[in-house]
Every structure is written in C-alpha cells, then in structure tokens.
Amino acid sequence: MVLPNIPALFSSFMKRCIYKANDGTDRISELPSEIIVKILYLLPTRDVVRTSVLSRKWRYMWILVPRLDLEDFYRMCKSVGYGDTAIFGIMSGFVMLHDGPIYNVSLDIPMGNSFRIRFINNWLKILSKCGLQEIILHNSEEGIYEVPSNLFSLQTLTHCMLKYLQLSLPPKFGGFKYLYRLDLSHVKVDSDELDTLISLSPVITIVFLQFCYGLEYINFSSTTLTSLCVHNCEDMKSFSFQNSNNLIDLSINCIDPYLKNLEKQSISSFMKDLRNINSILLGESYIKLLSSGIIPDSLHWSIDILKYLDLHNLDFNESRQLLLIICLLRSSPNLLGLYIKSHIITLEPELLNELECRSFCHSKLKTVEIEVETPCKHALLLIRFLLANSSSLEILKLKVNPNIRTLDLSLMLSTSQGLLEMERASPRAQIKFIYPNFIIIKDVIPIWLRDYSDDPSSKPSFLVRIKSFICDFCSMFYMPPI
C-alpha cells in the first residue's frame, strides 16, 4: 500500500477550498473542529502553525493538536539567520501556549550547552503534565551529552526513543510505569543502568539497541520483555537470557570489527534459556561465534516454540555454519520459515559430505528463502538437503544478486536445470529461481545480435526467434510441484 503525500494533498485541498462556494459559504470555516484537528495532526508543527492565517476558526486550532513535531524546526530557523535565543523562545511558545493533551513529541536539537539544556528541561517539565506518551529526543550536535534530567519525570511515557545521548539514571528514579518500548541509538549507557531501567519498567515489552557504547553485557531482569534487538554495540561481550523467560523475538548482530570483544559461546549455552523463543535473527558475527564451538547433531532439548529462523550474511564457504543450520533445524520441530541471506563472495569449496549422512524428516517447514551473490555448490547442497527432508515444504525461493561484472549465463542455466532435477519430499513443493532481469540484456541479446544481418527479410525471423528464446528462458525460473 502506497501512503499518500499528506502535505501535498492538504495543500491541494486548501487551494480548492480557499475560494467560497457559489452559495457564499466558507468551506474551510464550516469544517467540524474534530476534522480540522485530524488534518493538522498529519502535518509538521511548523506547517500547523501556518494554517492559523486561513480563517478565523483556524486561528487557534493548532494549539489543540496533541502532537509536537519539531525535528527540522531548529535547522530551518538557523538557516534563515535566527539565533538560539529567538529559536528557543519560539519553540517555548509552541509548548506553553498549547491547550490540552500532548501525546507525541519529536525534538531534534543540538544539546551542546547549558542554555539549550535549560530550555529543554523546562519543556519536559511542562510536558510531564500533558499526558505525554511518546517522545523522540535527538541530539543533533557532534558529541554525546547527558539526557535532560526532567525526562525521568515523564511518568505517562509508553514509548521513548533517544539518539546521540548519554543515559544516566537519577539516584531516586522509580522507573516508568507505562513504558512498553525503548529505542536507543548511538547512546552511551552502562549495562547495570540499562538493566535497572528495564527492571523498573513493569510493562516494558520491546527494547531496540543500536550502536550503543559502554554496554558490555545483556542480562535483563524482566518477565514482560518479549522482543529484543541488539545491533552493532561495539563493547558487547556476552548475552544471558536467564532472567527474560518470556522473550519470543530476538535479533542480534554486530559488524566484524566488534567480534573480538565477544566471549566464546556454544550453540547449546546460547539457546538454553530461549525455550520460549518464536523468532530469531542472527547476524554474521554471531553465526561465526556460535559455529566456532561444538556443534551437536541436535540440542539435548527441543525448541518447540521456534517458528522463524533468519540468518544474515551466512558464509557458504564455512561448512560449520551449514552444520549449525542443521543442528537448529533438528532442534526446532515446529519451524515454519527459514530465511538466509549471504552477500559474501563464494569460493569453490569442497562439497560437504556430512550433509549426505544427516538426513531427517522435518514435517512442519513450509517456506525457505535463500539469497546469494552466486549459486555456489554449498548453497545448492543445502537446498538439495532441505528439499529431500522437508515433507510439508510449500515454496523454496533462490534469489541471486550477482555483480553485473560477474554474471555467468551458463552457470544460471545449469543451476536452474539442477534445481529442476532435485528430489522433493513434499509433493506440493514449488521452487522459484529469481534472477535479475538485466541478464537478458547483457548475456542473451548479444548472442542473437551476432546472428542478425542487415537483410530486412531476416528481421521478422530474428524477432520471432528472440521472443521464443526469452519465453523459454524465463519459464525455467518457475519450477512447479512435481
């Protein structure tokens, strides 16, 4: 679904409505107040205030909108020559003149001096009495600065997003009673401080951490936490989910330079406290970490709740990473979907014979999607294994995203033929081989152009031949059930 361009639609609406109807009525002024507020809610605050000139009825409608979006306001004022005093005076007017509740606030402001922090703290003090539920606080100045202290007085918060700040809890902080989601991006935070914040938030459900500093371990004490995402936290050393028994959605990843900080961990120790997990996403570094230890045929217990396994940047050159997949498949009898992405350039590894003797029947797996740079031998071997051992498989997609310089038409054709010949345990299994369309332009057309002559009589024959070839060529990429 394509979302409409609300500001453009609103502008067009105003141009049509600014003229009076034939009977002399003012269409803008006749709109119900509830409709006006809903229209204004969809606009940035700077545009909301501008609508006060449209008519007498609209003059003060902006103070009723339960949302303040000031993300670009500071930069816009700076670009036309306003100083800090004038800018913060105007922004204070937005906050202080507002009448009624304010549920959503978005602030994107440089916080590099005490003058600005003082203003922001005053705003937060006012907002604490307005029933504020969602706040985005973004420090747009280079450097990491302390979170304004009055943030912790917002006891009605349900969603808090902080960017480029340092999070330190005040001594007598009692938690956020209604906070269900916390997003931290480029935030400096201590592991104990974050654990305290989460443990003191009795209904917190979702935690998203990205590029955070100072965070060395994850061991949250929360029975309500159900979704955790940790990406590229450079100081991270270890994970423990012993005190998060209700976690059902886990996503962890870090870029290679941060891998050296992680403590070695086996797949068994990693999964032992995740028996209620429903969905797991593992990035490249954690796949490397977990595949470097002992990999059993299967875990000593089954992960009955796990439904979706997502592996990003799997290295098909590393046979141990494939064995890790098999271990997780064997241990997850109710897995429905397996999703693998690999953007690592594949070599020509020796075939992994261990897969041939590790056959088993997976009765629930329905969807497999694999995305690779080139269809290497290990990827095809894994596909053969999955087709032969998944009795309920409905669809397997192999998507190839090659570099345009390394396109190989013969490899693609042999791969599609090989997929067609693979045995399938499921009579309903379909295979879709997805390849970029531009390969036809690059590799097919030149072949036919070599046979093309300037004789006009050969043109229809040429067009018929190339049309027939392309139809046959494209039909190879859909392999229906046998």
- Say what the pLDDT of residue 307 is: 96
- Say what the pLDDT of residue 406 is: 55
- What is the separation of C-alpha 447 from the centre of its chain, rounded to a whole number of angstroms? 42
Task: Judge whether residue 1 has pLDDT over 80.
Answer: no
Residues 6+ apart with CB under 8 A from 419: 380, 383, 398, 431, 433, 479
Task: Judge whether residue 281 has pLDDT over 80.
Answer: yes
Contact between residue 307 and residue 335 where contact means Cβ atoms under 8 Å apart: yes
Q: Residue 298 pairs with which residues in a beta bridge?
A: none
Q: Give 479's pLDDT tier (boundaries 50, 70, 90).
A: low
> For the ranges 90-99, 142-151, 277-286, 305-314, which has the lowest average pLDDT?
90-99
Task: Judge whether residue 51 has pLDDT over 50.
Answer: yes
CA distances (Å), origin 380, targets 28, 406, 434: 64, 19, 14
Q: What is the mean pLDDT of the chain?
A: 79
- Say what the pLDDT of residue 144 is: 76
Q: What is the mean pLDDT of residues 363-375?
A: 90
Task: Judge whether residue 12 has pLDDT over 60.
Answer: no
135-157, pLDDT tens digit by residue? 999 887 777 788 888 899 999 99
Nearest CA to 236 out of 215, 265, 211 is that of 215
Task: Judge whether residue 255 has pLDDT over 80.
Answer: no
Q: What is the mean pLDDT of residues 248-270?
A: 79
Residue with the bigger pLDDT between 442 and 473: it is 473
Query: How far is the C-alpha of 351 from the C-alpha of 378, rounded, in Å?
Result: 7
Residue with the bigger pLDDT between 273 and 353: it is 273
- Say what the pLDDT of residue 24 is: 58
Q: Give 127's pLDDT tier (boundaries 50, 70, 90).
A: confident
- Say what the pLDDT of residue 200 is: 93
Based on the number of CB atoms within 10 Å of its own CB, is 27 exposed (0-12), middle (13-18) or buried (19 or more)? middle
Task: Judge whether residue 397 has pLDDT over 70.
Answer: yes
Q: Give 446's pLDDT tier (boundaries 50, 70, 90).
A: very low
Please write down the HEC assignment for all residues of the chain. Answer: CCCCCHHHHHHHHHHHHCCCCCCCCCHHHHCCHHHHHHHHHCCCHHHHHHHHHCCCCCCCHHHHCCEEEECCHHHHHHHCCCCHHHHHHHHHHHHHCCCCCCCEEEEEECCCCHHHHHHHHHHHHHHCCCCCCEEEEEECCCCCEECCHHHHHCCCCCEEEEECEEECCCCCCCCCCCCCEEEEECCEECHHHHHHHHHCCCCCCEEEEECCECCCEECCCCCCCCEEEEECCCCCCEECCCCCCCCCEEEEECCHHHHHHCCCCCHHHHHCCCCCCCEEEECHHHHHHHHCCCCCCCCCCCCCCCCEEEEECCCCCCHHHHHHHHHHHHHCCCCCEEEEECCCCCCCCCCCHHHHHCCCCECCCCEEEEEECCCCHHHHHHHHHHHHHECCCCEEEEEECCCHHHCCHHHHHHHHHHHHHCCCCCCCCEEEEECCCHHHHHHHHHHHHCCCCCCCCHHHHHHHHHHHHHHHHHHCCEECCC
pTM: 0.78
Q: For residue 367, report the phi and psi dihedrals to the nearest 5 degrees.
A: -130, 130
Q: Give 437's pLDDT tier (boundaries 50, 70, 90).
A: low
Task: Judge whether residue 352 has pLDDT over 60.
Answer: no
163-175, pLDDT tens digit by residue? 999 999 998 889 9
Q: Which of 249-253, 407-411, 450-454 has the highest mean pLDDT?
A: 249-253
Q: Residue 432 pairs with which residues in a beta bridge?
A: 397, 478
HSE-CB for 399 with a 13 A CA cutoff: 12
Residues 6+ apart with CB under 8 A from 78: 87
Percent of the chain with pLDDT over 90: 27
- Say what the pLDDT of residue 448 is: 41
Task: Judge whether residue 481 has pLDDT over 60.
Answer: no
Task: Judge whether residue 91 has pLDDT over 60.
Answer: yes
Query: How far is the C-alpha of 354 from the C-alpha of 133, rounded, in Å?
Result: 54
Q: Give 277's pLDDT tier (boundaries 50, 70, 90).
A: very high
Q: Give 196's pLDDT tier (boundaries 50, 70, 90).
A: very high
